[in-house]
Amino acid sequence: MILSCLNNVSGFFQSSLLKIGRALIKRAKRVIHFLKHHPIQLGFHLIVFFLAATLYWTFLQDLPDPYLLAQKQPNATTRIYDRNGNLLYKIYDEENRTLLALEEIPKHVIQATIAIEDQNFYTHRGLSFRGILRAVRHDFLEGEEKSLGSLQGGSTITQQLVKNALLTPERTYIRKIKELALASMVELLFTKDEILNMYLNQVAYGGTAYGIEEASQTYFSKEAKHLNLAEAALLAGLPASPTTYSPFGANPQLAKQRQIQVLNRMTQEKYINSDNAQAAEKEILTFAPRIIPIKAPHFVLYIKDELSKRYGPQVVEKGGLQVYTTLDINIQEEAEKAVKKNIESIKTRYNCNNGASLITKPSTGEILAMVGSVDFFDLKNDGNVNLTTSLRQPGSSIKLVNYSYALEHGNYTPSSVIIDSPVSYSNAWETYTPVNYDGKFRGRVTLKKALALSLNIPAVKVLASYGVDKMVEQGRKMGITTWNEPDKYGLALTLGSAEVKMADMAVVFGSIANMGVKKNLTGVKKIIDSKGKVWQDIEKPKKLWAQIAQKAYASADEPVDGQQVVSEFTAWQLIDILSDNAARAEEFGQNSPLRIKKDDKTDARIFVKTGTSNDFRDNWTDGCSPDFCVLTWVGNNDNQPMRKIASGITGAAPMWHDIMAKLTEDKKESDFSKPEGMIEVEVCATNGLLPCSGCPQTKKAWFVPGTEPTQKCHIPSPQECQARKKKMEEEAKPAEEIVKALAGCPLEGPKPSP
């Protein structure tokens, strides 16, 4: 019966089935002899046979010929464009490959590959049942709704060879069954060394590098036979996910982590000893020059990583997608010029070697430009690291989150008075004493003045009045994704002690510019596959079911895109404070880089905030017009501190000014929409109350209806002030109480040195 079946299908598999048939005949004779004397086992095997036949005619009859393994399979090129159709980058479909005999491949390359990909390669028969069970378990636990690329692997080297060379890239259970069948057939047709040789010549190592020889040339500019252990371990780790583990990618540290993992596996398999592994781990690798035709490289790799997470690397690298992004290449090139120009001008004076900028459209969250460093190709200074998505301390720019909560929930208004005087906070471990950037104290100040001048002590006092946990919650709502350990944060959080990403800060500032409505960043406008089907189009409204699903799976800390995260009243108050050039002039000067002029007589309404980390390692300027948010950063990738003369005005601000001025010049810039019902009231600058006849200076401030002051100020006489001061000093009252008692006096209280 077995021979009859083989004869019926022999024409289909041609020469390959002849070899399989001969092997099966030998086994069949032994099986038939055994089954004649064991009828129960005969019945069982008949059942198995009919099940196998059913499986064959259902899933396996259209299997490709395993002898096609050595033939090249065509791949389609994925193209990434800017928003206007300008080509930024091509993910090439050419599979540059140089075939090598197994004898030409170093032993440690082979061992590294087996150790990380398939430790039991020389003992199994093409399949790893433990891996299959693990994959099935993972897939069922993950649920039925899976995106492309989500089905779990569990493949042997033989399965990977079959999958990459003979089968289509979609991930379905039917295709998996075909993979298992072909892997078993390949194990019968080829020796283990032949399979391994084909795998090392076929497998993708990233980009256009297919096979170990091209991988060696691409990453190290050398022939594979000259690879050392450290280099072999790095290359062996790439095939699992070339995009993720590439040393040329957006996260090169992952390549090092993967290399260490490979070395550890080689040690476990006893291919090398621990001394060999440690020496290879410590070796500094010299990579080949990475000069490729690419525009906006940090952005392109950011998009490539995002697409790989969503659809899987195989689809992105071989799927022939047309990806239309949100980036504007003209804005990008202007931003690149500004970053390079300003870093060149401050590099020597401030010991500042790198800069970055991110430009977004606050109403939609679209990324218009992304400059991750001065020079992407400067590998000596880690130029390929994207600073717009890296963790850095934000300095005082994070005060926007603190004051947004205070105005929204903390019974504060722009005219609320805060005492800028010495203060310390103690717990069981330490005492924290905040100081202002200039080391001075200003006594009684309004909230508007405290924020406009970026005073640290008032900011800490405001945060202390409502609690660090509330600021963490507010930051998460507004777009911060990195505050995951709230128990470790103290009052210095409002001064930038917790690291953030520039991309997250763009969402925070964009929320204010968008009148309190949060818009998550997006870099893709439209995706079209190789068959012309549109996968994504942000200009088309989401279907109702998609909107419902988005809301259903959103957490309280991460509200859905488009949700109101602060009221439009609070947003307007913050915009007014941070766009008031006169309010910040005392600290920054009348004509600082933070000032953008609309014409010769008026300023553009653009709100902006600077930030410098406590140790001068990070310097920021972030600000928005109604149409653009521009975030800039300067510093050093290796965390060397800048010289202390560097500040928000001298460091990142000139770069910010150049970019924002270019974006808004010769354009009819829209204005922020004042919320209906907001009340503008003139108040006494000294105490935030309604002005009285003796008030030395008045200021205008915006109020939510019902929060405006109703009480008039009282300016005491000089004699009354002297009497108050003398009494407080005689009673040895703390400085803060003296300042409060002297409210309205010409001298606003003691200003001790820090």
The residues facing 209 across adjacent strands are: 96
CA distance 203 to 181: 20
* pTM score, whole prediction: 0.70
CA-CA-CA-CA dihedral for 462, 467, 472, 477, to nearest 10: -80
Residues of the chain with pLDDT below 50 are 1-14, 73-74, 143-153, 544-545, 548-549, 552-559, 747-754
Query: In angstroms, what CA-CA distances link 37 with 26, 31, 348?
Result: 19, 10, 91
CB atoms within 10 A of CB 302: 23
At a CB cut-off of 8 Å and minimum separation 6, what does 143 contact? none
CA distance 340 to 354: 9
CA distance 687 to 120: 78
Tell me which H or E stretch contains 737.
helix 735-741
The owner of tokens 């900028």 is 357
pLDDT reported for residue 277: 95
Cα Rg of the chain (Å, integer): 33
Contacts made by residues 268-277, CB under 8 angstroms, sequence distance 24+: 268/115, 269/111, 269/114, 269/115, 269/119, 271/108, 271/111, 271/112, 271/115, 272/108, 272/111, 272/229, 276/229
pLDDT reported for residue 153: 44
pLDDT reported for residue 317: 85
pLDDT reported for residue 411: 86
pLDDT reported for residue 138: 54
Is the Cβ–Cβ distance between 623 and 660 less than 8 Å?
yes
CA distance 446 to 697: 13
pLDDT digits (tens, 9 = 90+) for 148-195: 333 344 589 988 888 877 777 666 777 777 778 788 888 888 899 998
CA distance 177 to 690: 79
pLDDT reported for residue 96: 63
CA distance 7 to 15: 13
Whether domain 69-322 has CATH 1.20.1440.120: no
pLDDT reported for residue 3: 38
Is the Cβ–Cβ distance between 249 and 207 less than 8 Å?
no
CA distance 580 to 568: 18
pLDDT reported for residue 165: 78
Per-residue burial over 128-147, b = 16 or more CB atoms within 10 Å of its CB, e = otherwise: beebbeebeeebeeeeeeee
pLDDT reported for residue 698: 84
CA distance 570 to 308: 38
Is the Cβ–Cβ distance between 574 and 512 less than 8 Å?
yes
Stretch(es) of the chain classified as CATH 1.10.3810.10: 69-322
pLDDT digits (tens, 9 = 90+) for 683-738: 888 778 888 877 778 888 899 998 888 888 777 767 777 776 777 776 666 666 66
pLDDT reported for residue 44: 64
Q: Tell me, rounded to whole angstroms, the distance of Cα 290 from its chain centroid.
A: 22
The owner of tokens 């553009």 is 604
Name the amino acid, one letter, at 714.
H
Number of residues that make up the chain: 754
Q: Tell me, rounded to whole angstroms, the distance of Cα 583 from its chain centroid.
A: 35
Q: Tell me, rounded to whole angstroms, the distance of Cα 587 from its chain centroid.
A: 34
Is the Cβ–Cβ distance between 94 and 317 less than 8 Å?
no
CB atoms within 10 A of CB 522: 18
pLDDT reported for residue 470: 96
